[in-house]
């Protein structure tokens, strides 16, 4: 087990290194730069600025400097937000997105897993069909639409919930619902199909033949096997939701990392773009490692591989 | 209440499917005394598993007993609710399945799964329940039980897993063990070991066994009685000797002929008899075997043959309508009726 975990972590570190390198070189391939703008800048001023940020050195030297800094945890200064380091920005914005995303993941699992299981156990009955219809709709409706509709009805028309920011606990409700709609639907479909598969397995028949109650056979024997595909999906899902959704953060004016990341792109804020990309990549890798480890705890067969 | 451990009377069972009613069992009657070993043989789809599962209420959701009675150990199984049946499953009646590779839950240890079977009926003390899994593993001939208890199914070989399945089945010392093709999925050498183990346990524990198999070699070595099933009916029933040395039904004869001679050392599997099995959606009104039978007569196509008791002296007797037949050899084939008439004619001629 320990060997498996160490292997996963080492592999994660390697992946992060590759991502950092790729990000660096891709950024340099993209035409344009932070100091090119419509306003005329004298060549001297341009050169002075480039020298200040080390942009005049050969690419490989820049790369080494950059990697060296990152290893020391320094991702540089934001070019557009004067006076803020990239670290500051991530430290301020990430918790907001992570809290929102974490709540959404939790809600998705709490809704998706039971709904999928109920549908599977009632296959072909009315309740199954209702769940299928809702989960299909949940997958098909784009987030911007569900967010806008919610905002229109719940805030504007009925004035039940605040529409902007994250000032009160109630202001979490709509963004979290908006973020959960797709994953909850997706999880319920995943769960339904894996549950159907598990229900038909021989070991479920063995459990029944032993005299185990239906309740126990679902919770002990079926759930642990059926949840595996959901656990696999949770890795990317956690990473995706906790790093902030641009659309939801934009619509509900939430000061999160997703919003920050996307607005850094048009302004060519290299350090911020690279910093957030590398941070996001590391976070995604970390989540996948966590999920892999959780997977091995749930399914003992994994240890062999 | 019946004196028998198993007393199935005229059971009819159908599966209701989108394409229609699959009449899987059509008038099946079985009696078994305590401690008896009954073999059920027949080709694929003849209803062997369906018969056995209905005895412990494991019939698939779309299946229903439409007529008859299923008595087991004083319970009317066909009238019990799922909750009531659950109390006897694993306790008075147990089952082992064909494929030991998939019959154990991959995510729990062997110990966990055996202990569950020991505890589920809640009549053991804590200490007993803790000791029992070890005892059971030793009983089914698994060495290093302490190590095995901590292992997962994927860490054991097929034969070992089948032993674990047997241990689970024996956890509460059932009165009847159903073994549904327990060796089909195993290697030949392992098959022999598992059979030997079952034979051994049967003597030690004095429990009844229903052994379902394709393999006539297996039934020959173990069973007191054999029921030959064809298209949801028992077409011939008798002691192992009756079936092997005095087969009466044309299907049974075909089965026996299709065993290759014992030149090969291994047990021989049934070679299918030519022709297709009966369509259970539209069963024929006459004998189900008629289209494949060389001795088929006109009446065979029109009326279902009745059960005829075959006496030890070679004479025949109509089987009384109630299913009480005390383990007598019977067959369901018009040829016996014909022979009976011929015997009677001869007797008349002589007098
Ligand atoms: N759930 C079900 N729905 C519809 N038909 C079924 C169902 N289960 C069994 N049957 C039908 O009932 C008949 C008897 O099946 P059964 O499983 O008892 O055969 P078997 O004698 O055990 O054969 P095998 O040797 O292949 O195990 C088959 O024709 C099968 O197709
Ligand atoms: S009843 Fe007729 S068709 Fe059926 S097995 Fe006997 S002889 Fe053959
Ligand atoms: Mg079967």
Query: Are B152 and A206 in contact (CB < 8 Å)?
Result: no
Please name the member of A203, A209, A300 whose beta carbon is closest to the beta carbon of B104: A203
B121: which chain A residues are within 8 Å (Cβ-Cβ)?
211
* Ramachandran assignment for B303, one of left (phi > 0), alpha (psi -120 to 50 degrees), beta (any other): beta
Out of A61-70, A246-255, B100-109, give the one with best mean pLDDT. Answer: B100-109
Q: Does A211 touch chain B (CB under 8 A)?
A: yes
Beta-carbon neighbours within 5 Å of ion ligand 3: B 49
The fraction of chain A above a pLDDT of 70, given in percent, is 95
Tell me if B24 CB under 6 Å of ligand 1: yes
> pLDDT digit string (tens) for B68-96?
999 999 999 999 999 999 999 999 999 99
d(CA B114, CA B244): 38
Distance from CA of B156 to the nearest CA of A (A): 12
Flag whether pLDDT at A213 surpasses 50: yes
Mean pLDDT lowest for which of A135-139, A200-204, B214-218? B214-218
In this prediction the ipTM stands at: 0.86
HEC sequence for B94-117: EEECCCCCCCCCCCCCHHHHHHHH
The fraction of chain A above a pLDDT of 90, given in percent, is 37
How would you label A86-109 residue by residue, b for 16+ Cβ within 10 Å and e otherwise?
bbebbeebbebbbebbebbbebbb
Q: What is the pLDDT of residue B343?
A: 81
Distance from CA of B155 to the nearest CA of A (A): 9
Q: What is the number of the ligand closest to the CA of B13? A: 1
For chain A, give the mean pLDDT.
87
Strand ordering across the sheet containing B308-310: B93-96, B176-180, B208-213, B37-41, B225-230, B233-239, B330-331, B308-310, B316-318
Using a cut of 0.90, tell me whether the model's pTM lies above it.
Answer: no
Query: Are B120 and A205 in contact (CB < 8 Å)?
Result: no
Q: Does A93 touch chain B (CB under 8 A)?
A: no
Flag whether pLDDT at B268 surpasses 50: no
Q: Does A268 touch chain B (CB under 8 A)?
A: no
Tokens representing A131 are: 């769940």
Q: Does A299 touch chain B (CB under 8 A)?
A: yes
End-to-end CA distance of chain A: 11
Residue B331 pLDDT level (bands cut at 50, 70, 90): very high
Which of the two residues, B154 and A161, has the higher pLDDT score? B154
Q: Does B75 touch chain A (CB under 8 A)?
A: no
Relative to beta strand B233-239, strand B308-310 is unpaired
Residue B308 pLDDT level (bands cut at 50, 70, 90): confident
Q: What is the pLDDT of residue B267?
A: 47
Q: What is the pLDDT of residue B263?
A: 46
The fraction of chain B above a pLDDT of 90, given in percent, is 56
| Residue range A168-184: mean pLDDT, rounded | 91
Which of the two residues, B278 and B228, has the higher pLDDT score? B228
Q: What is the pLDDT of residue B264?
A: 47
Flag whether pLDDT at B269 surpasses 60: no
d(CA B334, CA B320): 16
Q: What is the pLDDT of residue A269?
A: 82
Flag whether pLDDT at A109 surpasses 60: yes
> pLDDT digit string (tens) for B160-196?
999 999 999 999 999 999 999 998 888 888 888 888 8
HEC sequence for A62-82: HHHHHHHHHHCCCCCECCCCC
Q: Do residues A102 and A243 touch, judged by C-beta distance below 8 A?
A: no
- Residue of the CA atom closest to atom 26 of ligand 1: B44
- DSSP secondary structure, B280-310, as one string: TTS--SS-TTGGG-TT--HHHHHSPPPPEEE
> pLDDT digit string (tens) for B17-72?
999 999 999 999 999 999 999 999 998 899 999 999 999 999 998 999 999 999 99
Q: Do residues B29 and B10 touch, judged by C-beta distance below 8 A?
A: yes
End-to-end CA distance of chain B: 46
User: Cα dist. A207→B50, B51, B142 in Å?
Assistant: 18, 20, 22
Query: Are A301 and B154 in contact (CB < 8 Å)?
Result: yes
Tokens representing B78 are: 């066909």
Q: What is the pLDDT of residue A161?
A: 80
Pocket of ligand 2 (CB under 6 A): B 249-250, 287, 289-290, 293, 295-297, 300, 305, 333-335
Q: What is the pLDDT of residue B72?
A: 95
Q: Do residues B50 and B106 touch, judged by C-beta distance below 8 A?
A: no
Tell me if B49 CB under 6 Å of ligand 1: yes
- Angle between the A257-264 and A86-121 helix axes, to the nearest 10 degrees? 120
> pLDDT digit string (tens) for B122-145?
777 788 888 899 999 999 999 999
């Amino acid at each position: 087990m320990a060997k498996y975990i160490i292997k996963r972590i080492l592999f994660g570190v390697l992946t992060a290194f590759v991502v950092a390198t790729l990000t660096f070189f891709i950024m340099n391939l993209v035409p344009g730069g932070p100091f090119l703008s419509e306003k005329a800048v004298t060549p001297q001023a341009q050169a002075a600025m480039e020298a200040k940020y080390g942009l005049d050195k050969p690419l490989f030297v820049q790369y080494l400097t950059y990697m060296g800094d990152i290893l020391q945890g320094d991702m540089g200064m934001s070019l557009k937000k004067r006076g803020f380091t990239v670290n500051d920005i991530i430290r301020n914005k990430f918790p907001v997105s992570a809290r929102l995303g974490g709540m959404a993941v939790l809600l998705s699992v709490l809704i998706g897993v039971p709904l999928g299981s109920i549908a599977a156990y009632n296959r072909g009955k009315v309740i199954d069909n209702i769940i299928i219809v809702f989960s299909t709709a949940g997958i098909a409706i784009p987030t911007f639409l569900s967010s806008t509709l919610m905002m229109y009805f719940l805030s504007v028309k009925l004035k039940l919930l605040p529409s902007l920011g994250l000032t009160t606990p109630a202001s979490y409700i709509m963004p979290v619902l908006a973020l959960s709609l797709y994953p909850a639907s997706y999880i319920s479909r995943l769960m339904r199909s894996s549950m159907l598969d598990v229900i038909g397995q021989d070991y479920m028949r063995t459990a029944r033949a032993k005299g185990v109650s239906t309740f126990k056979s679902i919770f002990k024997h079926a759930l642990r096997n059926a949840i595996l595909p959901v656990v696999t999906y949770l890795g990317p899902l956690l990473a995706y939701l906790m790093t902030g959704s641009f659309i939801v953060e934009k619509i509900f004016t939430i000061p999160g990392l997703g919003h920050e990341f996307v607005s850094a792109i048009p302004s060519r804020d290299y350090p911020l773009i690279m910093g957030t990309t590398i941070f996001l990549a590391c976070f995604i890798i970390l989540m996948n490692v966590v999920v892999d480890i959780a997977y091995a705890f749930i399914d003992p067969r994994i240890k062999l591989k | 209440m019946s004196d028998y451990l198993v007393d199935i009377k005229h059971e009819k069972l159908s599966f209701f499917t989108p394409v229609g009613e699959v009449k899987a069992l059509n008038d099946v009657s079985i009696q078994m005394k305590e401690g008896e070993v009954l073999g059920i043989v027949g080709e694929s789809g003849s209803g062997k598993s369906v018969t056995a599962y209905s005895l412990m209420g494991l019939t698939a959701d779309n299946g229903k007993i439409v007529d008859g009675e299923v008595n087991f150990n004083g319970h009317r199984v066909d009238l019990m609710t799922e909750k009531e049946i659950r109390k006897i499953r694993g306790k008075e009646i147990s089952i082992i399945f064909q494929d030991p590779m998939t019959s154990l839950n991959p995510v729990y240890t062997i110990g966990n799964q055996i202990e569950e079977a020991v505890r589920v009926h809640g009549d053991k003390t804590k200490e007993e329940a803790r000791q029992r899994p070890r005892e059971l593993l030793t009983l089914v001939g698994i060495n290093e039980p302490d190590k095995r208890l901590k292992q997962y199914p994927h860490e054991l070989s097929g034969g070992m897993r089948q032993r674990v399945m047997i241990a689970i089945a024996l956890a509460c010392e059932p009165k009847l063990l159903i073994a549904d093709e327990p060796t089909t999925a195993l290697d030949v050498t392992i098959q022999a070991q598992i059979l030997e183990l079952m034979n051994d346990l049967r003597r030690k524990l004095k429990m009844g066994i229903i052994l379902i198999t394709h393999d006539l070699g297996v039934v020959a070595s173990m069973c007191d009685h054999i029921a030959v099933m064809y298209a949801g009916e028992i077409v011939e029933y008798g002691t192992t000797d009756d079936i092997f040395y005095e087969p009466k039904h044309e299907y049974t004869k075909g089965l026996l002929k299709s065993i290759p001679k014992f030149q090969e050392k291994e047990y021989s599997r049934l070679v299918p008899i030519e022709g297709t099995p009966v369509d259970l959606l539209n069963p024929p009104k006459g004998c189900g075997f008629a289209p494949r039978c060389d001795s088929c007569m006109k009446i065979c196509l029109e009326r279902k043959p009745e059960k005829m008791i075959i006496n030890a002296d070679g004479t025949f007797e109509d089987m009384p309508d109630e299913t009480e037949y005390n383990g007598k050899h019977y067959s369901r084939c018009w040829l016996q009726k014909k022979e009976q008439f011929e015997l009677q004619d001869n007797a008349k001629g002589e007098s």
